[in-house]
Chains A and B, each alone.
Chain A
Amino acid sequence: MTTDYRSAVQEAVAGALGLGEDEVTPDATLMDDLGAESIDLLDILFRIERSTGVKIAASDLGDEMQGGIPEDEFGTPEGNVSRKGLDYLHEVVMPQLDPDEWDGKLQAEEVINHFTVQNLADMVGRRAGQQQPA
């Protein structure tokens, strides 16, 4: 089992999508830049589990990004990510998202489109820490 999560994620993404590892750069977004779809996410996450031992279910990705913030606090009635949600995304999940730039402009279902290879590697690292035996 490796603890080099960035390399593990790059290898998993390249394998699942049939890309060269040089194409899977840390700042590439999984959906928009690399063209991953739902079945690809399933494949990627199982490949990561095999190489790192860290399990993230594809259907848990949304919950991971929301970080336990209740739905009505993470989003606005108009369907945008709230300022609280943007601050959480910036601080924990997607440092590249500037809350000032996206305030009132980011639809909740579009968040996944900004999720990068590095963001996934960081998520795997956080989950690995949570899975460490006490």
Chain B
Amino acid sequence: MRIRVGVDVVGVERVGRLVDENAAVLDEVFSAREQAYCLAKRATRDRHLAGRFAAKEAVLKAFGTGLATRMRWTDVEILNERSGRPRVELHGEVAAFADRGGLSDLDVSVSHSDGLAISHAVAVWADGDALPPD
């Protein structure tokens, strides 16, 4: 078993500005479900978008890949439980990578403060040998 962590921090205003200036950012980075959730939070839209962006990056860092070839940000989907707790669903090339590496558990946490969104991801791998070297 091997445990890897990833953390990412991003400016809330910056994510909001990127989305405002380039509507295509929404579809490149966020799934339809993520967009529906965040855009419904009118007063705090940018905070929710930034939290999700940070969570996607944190997961990719915990995988040790970053956004590798053929991976898409929408492959890491950050959804919410009824309690508000974030949960991750993987798709596409990121899900395939997780399968190859024997991912057995994945968790993220997200927080916001002073205009920043931060996320921490923990990935537990049953077969760490399949991961990229440190």
Contact = CB atoms under 8 A, between A and B. Distances in A.
A107 B133 contact: yes
Contacts of A62: 67-71
Nearest to A49: B22
A42 B18 contact: yes
A39 B10 contact: yes
Interface residues of B, number: 24
Contacts of B15: 39
Interface string B1-41: 00000000010001100100110110011000000000000
Given A46-B18, A79-B132, A109-B132, A59 B73 contact: yes
B133 A46 contact: no
A112 B65 CA distance: 11
B66 A109 contact: yes
B57 interface: yes
B53 interface: yes
Contacts of B24: 46
A108 B64 CA distance: 12
Contact of B28 (A43, A57, A71, A79): A57
A107 B14 CA distance: 31
A132 interface: no
B45 interface: no
A58 interface: yes
Nearest to A41: B67
B118 to A, nearest CB: 13
Nearest to A55: B24
Nearest to A62: B69
A62 B97 CA distance: 16
A132 to B, nearest CB: 21
Contact of A38 (B21, B64, B67, B69): B67
A29 interface: no
Interface in A104-125: 107-109, 112
Contacts of A82: none
Contacts of B57: 38
A58 B73 CA distance: 10
Contacts of A57: 28
B91 interface: no
Interface of B: 10, 14-15, 18, 21-22, 24-25, 28-29, 53, 57, 64-73, 132-133
